[in-house]
Amino acid sequence: MSKYDIIVLGSGPGGYVAAIRASQLGFKTAIIEKENLGGICLNWGCIPTKALLKSAQVFEYLKHAEDYGLSVKDFDKDFDAVVKRSRGVAEGMSKGIQFLMKKNKIDVIDGFGKLKPGKKVDVDGTEYSADNIIIATGARSRELPSLPQDGKKVIGYREAMVLPKQPKKMIVVGSGAIGVEFAYFYNSMGTEVTIVEYLPNIVPVEDEEVSKQLARSFKKSGMNIMTSAEVTSVDTSGKGVKATVKTKKGEEVLEADIILSAVGIKTNIENIGLEDVGIVVDRDKIIVNDFYQTNIPGYYAIGDVTPGQALAHVASAEGILCVEKLAGMHVEALDYGNIPGCTYCSPEVASVGLTEKQAKEKGLDIKVGKFPFSVSGKAKAAGTPDGFVKVIFDAKYGEWLGCHMIGAGVTDMIAEAVLGRKLETTGHEVLKAVHPHPTMSEAVMEAVADAYDEVIHL
């Protein structure tokens, strides 16, 4: 039986990052993967969806070439080629992870791993042992009883990435990041898209002003949006699919070629031996302490299977912290109140910290500033004037409580707010940090100036 210092179960952005950090710190490390190195994020999530979205963005540019003084004739999309490009990007990235495993001398064990007592893992009949085992098995598309997925007419995100042909009509159920990203992609490609959201606003975890702005932008692009609505049943017996949707006005039947169910995720914790080992699970999540130790010594868990935000960058950060703590390094627990969220539709959405509503519910005295991209020189020149930057500060101490953005490229801008909050930056310090002009990023400074009644360009 092979013996390791650390075995990682799952090779997504939590698992493979934990394995590399473990190897860097001198641990003899193995990683177990049942499918493809890189996990869902790299193969079926974050990376290939961004490739699809880039194709959609380029197609949008071609459709609006005249807005830029250009004439482009006889252009069209090749849906198969768009999908093929996305898969090629994912495959290339997965090969990159294979290279990193070899470079860091990490043993890759192919197969389905099942935890055993005594710090062992069984992989298809072969046992491996380690001083420490890190569970990083991730999650998959969640199914609702009223919306069972058949993989053909009612699909999840995996099927949505590789459809054999583009649907003419699509219903997207759920408007979190996955839902709105696919809604934007298919709408841009020419599919008639309807979004059905159970809550009053789309992207419901975002600041309400951001949600309303995204709804306006989506409606302007031709999407139908139904909020405070619920799919109660589906009928797949005909050529397409019929969805019965319950709204405040009553029931309505929608017809489409395909329904994409984007109603959240389900953790991959079944049949991996948690019960055999005695590891405690609560509401579909493995319970861990601040440094990802489960209730059983020697067994750890990171990423989507734990109660933190189900985001790739969170899983990576947790993996690094977990291993560094194991190595005896002095590390601080992750601040889950300072995790950025990004949604890559168009316009993009990015946020960190408290929303205005959350700050008020906490009884905080706040200053709120907002700067629209419609008066940003860079945004106007780029032809992307939709959206804004919104900032929230504590009125008494100047603490940066939250930052919420919607617009072109804002997912690349949010890190300023994350770093500023980490360093306990005040509003006045942000205001006095010179931002380059003309850029989208200077909208952050302008929004702060608005909060402190010093705005120049508004």
Binding residues for FAD: 50, 113, 304
Q: Considering only CA atoms, which of 311, 284, 313, 315 is closest in space to residue 301?
A: 315
- CA distance linking residue 318 with residue 107, whole number of Å: 21
* Location of structure tokens 């934007």: 184
Can you tell me whether residue 112 is helix, strand or coil?
coil
**Catalytic residue among 64, 313, 428, 437, which?**
437
Adjacent-strand bridge partners of 281 = 286
CA count, 13 A, side-chain hemisphere, 46: 16
User: Based on C-alpha coordinates, what's the Rg of the chain?
Assistant: 23
CA distances to 15, 35, 46, 272, 367 from 39, rounded to whole Å, are 9, 8, 10, 16, 42
Q: Burial level of 1, CB count in 10 A (0-12/13-18/19+)? A: exposed
Task: Determine whether 437 is an active site residue.
Answer: yes
Q: Report yes or no: 288 and 303 within 8 Å, Cβ to Cβ.
A: no
Distance CA 228, CA 134 (A): 40
Grouping H, G, I as helix, E, B as strand and the rest as coil, residue 103 is helix
Per-residue DSSP letter, 303? G
- Binding annotation for NAD(+): 174-181, 197, 264
Cα dist from 420 to 47, 95, 367, 398, whole Å:
27, 35, 17, 12
Peptide bond into 347 cis (omega under 30): yes
Active-site annotation, residues: 437
